[in-house]
Amino acid sequence: MDKKKRQQMEQKGFQVGSAAEFLELTPEEEAYIDIRLAISNFVKNQRTKSGWTQEQLARGIGSSQSRIAKIEGGDPGISIDLMIKALLRLGTSKKQIGELLEGELETI
């Protein structure tokens, strides 16, 4: 939100802040959520670039299509282990995963 819009909203009595502020997240919690979402987005991006269906990826990692959909949807019940396993199966290198975690790799 730009500065002018923020000021207008505050003048009208609205409280303006981030989702992290609203949810009272610690910096570590916010970073964890950002990492999970980046991995989820990257799995979907890599899968579509590779021309794989969710079903094909699921078979490749010994899982189900619905779990792949949950990975790509950012479901918090999916382990980071499974997300990393999916990325590796899609041919993502350890270096690319490291760059993703450092925030240096585009996820979309």
The answer to whether the CB of 107 falls within 8 A of the CB of 74 is no
Domain that holds residue 95: 57-101
* Residue 47 falls inside a structural domain: no
The span from the CA of 94 to the CA of 104, in Å, is 14
Amino acid at 37: L
* Residue 88 falls inside a structural domain: yes
* Residue 22 falls inside a structural domain: no
* Residue 2 falls inside a structural domain: no
Q: What are the structure tokens assigned to 85, written together?
A: 């396993």
The span from the CA of 39 to the CA of 55, in Å, is 19
Its pTM stands at: 0.78
pLDDT in tens, the chain (108 residues): 688 888 888 888 888 878 788 888 898 998 899 999 999 999 999 999 999 999 999 999 999 999 999 999 999 999 999 999 999 999 999 999 999 988 866 654
The total number of structural domains in the chain stands at 1
* Residue 23 falls inside a structural domain: no
* Residue 106 falls inside a structural domain: no
